[in-house]
Structure 1
Amino acid sequence: MLKKYSKILIANRGEIACRIIKTAHKMGISCVCVYSDADEHSLHVKLADEAVHIGQSPACTSYLDIDKICQAAADTKAQAVHPGYGFLSENQHFPLALEKFGIDFIGPRTEAIKAMANKITAKEVAVKSGVSVVPGYTGAVLNIAHAEEIAQQIGFPIMIKAAAGGGGKGMRIVRSIKEVAQAFNSATNEAMKNFKDGSLFIEKYVELPRHIEVQILGDKFGNIVCLGERECSIQRHNQKVIEESPSPFVTEEIRQKMYEQCISLAKQVNYFSAGTVEFIMDKDKQFYFLEMNTRLQVEHPVTELVTGIDIVEEMIRVSCGEKLRFNQEDIRLNGWAIESRIYAEDPAKNFFPASGRIKYYNMPKESSNVRIDDGVFAGAEVSMFYDPMIAKIITYGKDRMAAINCMQQALSESYVGGITNNIEFLESIFHQPAFIAAKLHTGFISEFYSNGFHSDILTEESIQIFIFISLYIYLSNEYRNWVLCKEIDDSFSVFVDKNEYNIRAKYDGVTLLVIYNHNEYLIQGRWNVSYKLLQVIINNHALNVKMSINKNMYLLGYAGMKAQCFVYYPSIANLSKFMLESKEDKSMLYVEAPISGMLVKLCVDQGEKIEIGQPLCIIEAMKMENIIHAETKGTIKTIAMKEGESIRSGDLLIELE
């Protein structure tokens, strides 16, 4: 007789915990969530049927504590535990610990996790299964000297990788011998903090590859199916930002070859439940095994949209002992799906993670073409202790261009205020011609955003939009301030990033009429999210503009472009030209912390002369090590912080002479 769960515990937090709850509730299953001090008021706790406190905020004292989670599951009489992704999801000891309590693990068998969790043994299994692998040194790297020896044998560039790694952590690209030591130490430290295993291995780095992965599902009767591939090439810091399914680069012939290798690998380790086999693919469409993730992936929703299969539901059914309800011939890839990950991070500062409280939060409405997976709300805290992902937007269309258009619209409707985030950066990518043309590779962001993302160059269309929006904001305020509220009809000077445009406009309290380049434009607007998002219709064309107001200056954003805008009456505009500009202090003598976290290492000493680009210190934030580099030459005058100290964004780290 098949099992049927009535209660499960979710050993995770945030977005993925909320996503699992949705499917479990749909199946009539009650959910227990666990939470740390930092997550006491989080969304997954509110959505759960029961919640158990398991410790302090650091993951090692809460979400990584196997004993506490097992005890919570036993105390609440949960029949099974779903690990989500990250944390304990690929820890081979977790299922064994649950087994002692008679509790099921919703995931693969321990032996499969063990075989694939270590990248060295996984590669050995792949070779045995007939899977194509990247050339490299598959043994454990002993020390820096050993790493340098291997690197010279393989030839640069190389990739130093954590044997127990995943999620882009514990990985470093190395292009010269002088970079090996720093990369080895950073990768080791990250691996220890994230996986409690600092062992590393080295592979040849394939330049400008595509990152392609195949979703698999298996049951306990030896049945394995592949649910199509995902294109995951848009990455920063070796971590994915945008994913799509299917891949625009994979042909049906290549897809079937990938399927064959994935099934062979899965059968080699008697795999069941959900899993992902990851490949890199070169420009000649040769693909090589990268790793196998024995868990649910962050990007699983794109596969769900193109196949119509709820992967979380299938994981639960398989765990209960059910056979797969479909075979390979039943799997059809219909349409196209794309996912954008919204992170609390600063694209202008090397994507450093951010933390803090979300003041405003607006996501597009869900529909048959838009799906939102999130775990936050206005007022929620993005903690420095965990991954900084805020939400995922997934869009669907009949083809790739339809899915892209839908994503452009969805991102334009998205606003997160109070914390630095990457929404404008994502908008920029989805308007980038190379992305639209599917010219993708893992170095895409480095190629097109080598200095980080600040703002795209203004187009004629965006200048026109910013002129109209500036006038709309200014005149709607003017209209409210006029006692008689009579119609405003006059000439105005609009400045867009210091470029002046003389415009004739008429406003009646509802509609703005603008004369621009001898053409008439009718503008109507609707505010959202406390006047941070303006939805406008310009001559029957709807669009969304993000904005913030500082006195009489409007900072407007649209499709990855932004500008500072001012509106004056012509007489005032003429006088403003004679006003002295305030001069900002351009001094670079002070090095401030760009992120909150812990100062784990100082790379310089007082009195030392430094060069541009030289590492100054390493700050650990959200389980990632971030190297702070010198932006100018100089001599270290004072060092304001000590190793091991907690720091906040903006704290003084180093003063230069």
Structure 2
Amino acid sequence: MMFDTLLIANRGEIACRVIRTARKLGIRTVAVFSEADADAQHVRLADEAHCIGGPRPQDSYLRGDAILDVAKKTGAQAIHPGYGFLSENADFADAVQAAGLVFVGPSGASMRKMGSKAGAKDLMAAAGVPVVPGYTGEDQSPEHLQREADRIGYPLMIKAAHGGGGKGMRIVRESDEFAAHLESCQREARNAFGRDRVLLERYIEHPRHIEIQVFADHHGNALHLGERECSAQRRYQKVLEESPSPFLTPELRAAMGAAAVQAARAIDYANAGTVEFIVAPSGEFFFMEINTRLQVEHPVTELVTGLDLVEWQLRIAAGEKLPLTQQDVTQRGHAIEVRLYAEDPEAGFLPGSGTLKTLRLPPPSPHVRIDAGVVEGDTVTIFYDPMIAKLIVWDEDRPRALARLREALAACEIHGPKSNVAFLERLVRHPAVVEARIDTGYLDRHLDEFLAPATAEPSALLGAACACLLAQESAASTAAAASPDPTSPWALADGWRLGHAGARRLQLLHGERKIELRAHGHGGEYRIALDGHTHALAGARWQDGVLSLRIDGAMHRFRAEVAGGLVQVHDGRARLTLRIDAGDRDGGGGEAAGDHRIRAPMPGRVVLVQAQAGQAVKAGEVVLVLEAMKMELALKAPRDGVLAELRAAAGDFVEADAVLAVLEE
């Protein structure tokens, strides 16, 4: 029998997703939240919500005892862990069961079999599932690991045995690099997972990452729902996911599906899980791990199968059998997912935070799905993953799905923290993605191909941006001239105004690059001078966010907006966002020019200090390591010199722009 009340032990878009599915099934929902999430969307969406602690995950969402207290107090009969936080914590799953509640997921025993990558590989090998050759032993001394690495050969991968999400992974290509990579990997694993055990395995060059969605019930039934390809990755973090994989043949798809079900049966699995494989260019595939939870990218599977995987989770947790057999599972069309993040790709994908002053996403339709945990006006905080929303599209085939995705991304408008929208637009047009030949390391090897060029903004986009500013100022001048108070200084329409036929100077900033243009003309007819070239603008019409105008005689159409000191234009293929520069600004005076301070680029915790006051350092040498928003940032010396001061120690929490170290001048 389905339970009456469900507690969701998570936040963000997955919490919202579970709440909506539960409501569809007539289940009452209870949310938990941290102090930072008091006004979050999942809190507002649930039937009831309770605060469980401070903003840091360890003070709230990782507190199993506090979550269970809320469950008992509210009469919840089951707990859905979402993904992340406690979703793969075997002790929490056991505690839920011991409290007489239902854990929506596999048992703690099944999780423990997969909780160690080393143990999981041994178990899968015994079950006949292909695994990558390597070392999974308990002897973790650096000397023994070095010998095993040399035996396996290079390149090889060091992986945190208890890790996930791209944390605690290093590629080693030479024997003499191994020790340094091992130390770095163990430190990151210790900080992220509390354990620093590692395993070694052969590194497959130019691999594909393909995962199989599996489900099993408590009656001995198991099946798979097809694959997702997640080969577009940056630093082991998935960037684009799709289903079906354009790489798999029907024979390879059947073999991988059967291996995935075999893997699930080997650990007596129940509920939703994902079996991840690494696939060589030859088609040879190897088991990587089982994620014992629902995956972030599950919507692409839902769109091609027409199934609600969260509903399946809840029904199986309630004791029901799988609703379909393997023969009943069908797939139709092609689905692709990308994740919109508050991050700055041009600054090394530095995570961002702040208020979403503008958040406009394409409206949901049979072809477009939005999974979001925030709305316009909400804040992306420093304490959690900076994802804004998942954008998922569907169409009858892959080319049409890619076209849908390009249209959907073009319709996105995000102001406040910087976002990765422009990066994603370049990604989905890149030949390696369009031709389905991307591998897991391609983005890291060719990242510059996906980033905006430092200079040479497209002249058409720049012309459109100028037209927006000129049209806005023209409207202001017209309104001022019609003022009922002719003595008001705001009624002047002199040379400063656009009505004057003289030159008008426009100053814009593209990143750190200053762009200065001169506009000659009036009444909608202008000549724009830039870097020795002149372009003619005419016939501009700007209505409901759509700008059309002739540039050098050719008609163009753009999405366009001027707001919050920014002008943004989009021609359907690429976007250009410029800051309006009101004049020369003080960039910090001599302090910036002195290049002698090391600052925190964002709030975070210092996890390592690799130098001391009085020590000589070289330009580019790592001085401190900062942990922020689920990643480590190496803070390096800006030049050669001697450290005069160190103002932070390991364990300190620091604010953005805080000076952490000072070089002698």
Using the size of structure 2 for normalisation, the TM-score is: 0.86
Worse-superposed segment, 428-437 or 167-176: 167-176
Matched residues in 2 for 1:438 and 1:525: separation?
Answer: 29
Q: Secondary structure in 1 aligned to 2:359?
A: strand
Q: Encode CA deviations 1:292-333: one digit per residue, 9 max, x unaligned.
A: 011000100011111111110001011111111111122222
Partner in structure 1 of residue 204 of structure 2: 206
- Call closer, same or farther: CA 1:6–1:500 in 2, change over 3 Å: farther
Q: How far apart are residue 455 of structure 1 and its match?
A: 3.8
Q: Structure 1 CA distance, aligned partners of 2:50 and 2:436?
A: 45
8 Å CA contact 2:569–2:575 kept in 1: the answer is: yes
1:502 and 2:500 matched? no
Matches within 5 A, 1:489-528: 489-495=524-530, 498=531, 500-507=533-540, 514-519=549-554, 521=555, 527=561
Q: Deviations over 1:631-657 (max 9, x none)?
A: 544443433333222222322233334
For residue 83 of structure 1, report the CA deviation from its aligned partner. 0.5
Q: CA deviation at 1:592?
A: 2.2
Contact 1:360–1:379 (CA<8 Å) still a contact in 2? yes
1:117 Cα deviation (Å)? 1.6
| C-alpha spacing 1:41/1:139, structure 2 compared with 1 (3 Å) | same
Instruction: Name 2:626's counterpart in structure 1.
Output: 619
User: Given the alignment, which residue of 31, 46, 53 partners 2:29?
Assistant: 31
Equivalent residue in structure 1 for 2:661, among 645, 650, 654: 654
CA contact (8 A) 1:471 1:494 kept: no
Residue aligned with 1:606, SS: coil
Query: What is the rounded CA distance, in whole Å, between the counterparts of 2:526 and 2:560 in structure 1?
Result: 24
Alignment match, 1:557: none
2:391 corresponds, among 387, 390, 393, to 393
Change (3 A) 1:395 1:172: same
Return the alpha-carbon distance in structure 1 between the equivalents of residues 257 and 191 of structure 2. Answer: 34
What is the letter of the counterpart of residue 230 of structure 1? R
Partner residue in 2 for 1:107: 105
2:471 corresponds in structure 1 to: 475
Deviations 1:260-296 (A, max 9, x none): 1111111112212110000111111111110001100
> 1:534·1:545 contact (CA, 8 Å) conserved in 2?
yes
Measured after TM superposition, the shift of residue 182 of structure 1 is 4.2
Match of 1:464 among 456, 460, 463: 460
Cα offset, 1:18, TM superposition:
0.9
1:419 aligns with 2:417: yes
| Structure 2 residue identity aligned to 1:616 | V
- The residue correspondences of 1:592-611 to structure 2 (distance < 5 A) are 592-611=599-618
Instruction: Name which of 593, 597, 605 aligns with 1:590.
Output: 597
| Deviation, structure 1 residue 535 | 7.3
> Could you tell me which amino acid in structure 1 is paired with residue 390 of structure 2?
K
Structure 1, unaligned runs of 5 or more: 554-581
Q: 1:126 to 1:494 in 2, by over 3 A?
A: farther
Offset at residue 517 of structure 1 (A):
4.1
In the alignment, is residue 74 of structure 1 matched against residue 83 of structure 2?
no
Structure 1 equivalent of residue 133 of structure 2: 135
Measure, in 2, the Cα distance between the counterparts of 1:647 and 1:363: 34
* 1:8–1:31 Cα contact (<8 Å) kept: yes
Match of 1:62 in 2: 60
Distance 2:184 2:547 in 1: 56
Sort the Cα spacing of 1:334 and 1:606 in 2 relative to 1 into closer, same or farther, 3 A.
Answer: same
CA shift, 1:548, in A, is 4.3
Matches within 5 A, 1:281-320: 281-320=279-318
Structure 2 distance, partners of 1:275, 1:605, is: 47
Deviations 1:439-475 (A, max 9, x none): 211112112215983448768xx42233134223312
Post-superposition Cα deviations, 1:536-593, rounded to whole Å, max 9, x if no partner, equal 7x8xxx678564442469xxxxxxxxxxxxxxxxxxxxxxxxxxxx999665433322
Q: Output one character per residue of 1:366-422: Cα deviation in whole Å (capped at 9) or x when no partner.
A: 111111111112332222222222211111121112111111121222232221322
Deviations 1:92-151 (A, max 9, x none): 111211122210011112221111121111111110111111111012352333332322
Match of 1:147 in 2: 145
Q: How many residues align?
A: 618
Question: Helix, strand or coil for the counterpart of 1:140?
Answer: coil
CA contact (8 A) 2:210 2:227 kept: yes
Distance in structure 2 (CA, Å) of the matches to 1:334 and 1:587: 60
Q: Is the 8 A contact 1:350 1:452 kept in 2?
A: no
Measured after TM superposition, the shift of residue 339 of structure 1 is 0.8
Of the structure 1 ranges 18-27 and 177-186, higher mean CA displacement relative to structure 2 is found in 177-186
Match in the other structure for 1:265: 263
SS of the aligned residue for 1:636 comes to: strand
Instruction: Report the AA paired with residue 527 of structure 2.
Output: F
Aligned to 1:556: none
2:459 maps to amino acid: I
2:652 is matched by which residue type in structure 1?
A: E
Query: How far off its partner does 1:21 sit?
Result: 0.9
Work out whether residues 599 and 617 of structure 1, in 8 Å CA contact, stay in contact via their aligned partners in 2.
yes
Q: How does 1:437-456 map to 2 (within 5 A)?
A: 437-449=435-447, 453-455=451-453
Q: Tell me which residue corresponds to 1:488.
A: 523
Paired AA for residue 649 in structure 1: A
Confirm or deny: 8 A CA contact 1:361 1:529 kept in the other structure: no
Q: CA deviation at 1:28?
A: 1.1
Distance 1:110 1:515, change over 3 A: closer
State the match for 2:171 in structure 1. Answer: 173
Contact 1:212 1:281 in 2 (8 A): yes
Moved more, 618-627 or 19-28: 618-627
Aligned with 2:319: secondary structure?
A: coil
- Asked if the contact 1:467–1:494 (Cα under 8 Å) also holds between the matched residues in 2, the reply is no
Name the CA distance, whole Å, in 2 between partners of 1:532 and 1:398: 38
Shift of residue 494 of structure 1?
A: 4.6
CA displacement at 1:196 relative to structure 2:
3.0
Which of the pair has the greater relative contact order for Cα pairs under 8 Å at 6+ separation? Answer: 1
Q: Which amino acid aligns with 1:27?
A: L
State which drifts further: 350-359 or 62-71: 350-359
Distance in 2 separating the partners of 1:629 and 1:424? 28
Q: Which residue of 1 aligns with 2:251?
A: 253
Higher mean alpha-carbon deviation, 411-420 vs 15-24, is at 411-420
Contact 2:340 2:390 in 1 (8 A): yes
The aligned residue for residue 550 of structure 1 is 580
Q: Is the 8 A contact 2:111 2:292 kept in 1?
A: yes
1:154-203 deviation per Cα after TM superposition (whole angstroms, max 9, x unaligned)? 22222221212111122222334454444334433433343333322121
Secondary structure in structure 2 of the residue aligned to 1:116: helix
8 A contact 1:193–1:623 mirrored in 2: no
Taking the aligned partners of 1:130 and 1:525, their CA distance within structure 2 comes to 55
Aligned 1:290-369 pairs, distance under 5 A = 290-369=288-367
Match of 1:197 among 169, 176, 195: 195
Q: Residue 186 of structure 1 contacts residue 625 of structure 1 at CA under 8 Å; is this kept in 2?
A: no
Compared CA separation, residues 51 and 585, structure 1 to 2 (3 A): closer
The 1:420–1:177 alpha-carbon spacing in structure 2 relative to 1, beyond 3 Å, is farther
Give the conservation status (yes or no) of the 8 Å contact 1:188–1:198. Answer: yes
User: Distance between the aligned counterparts of 1:285 and 1:76, measured in 2?
Assistant: 51
Q: State the one-letter code of the partner of 2:616.
A: K
Alpha-carbon contact 1:306-1:333 (below 8 Å) kept: yes
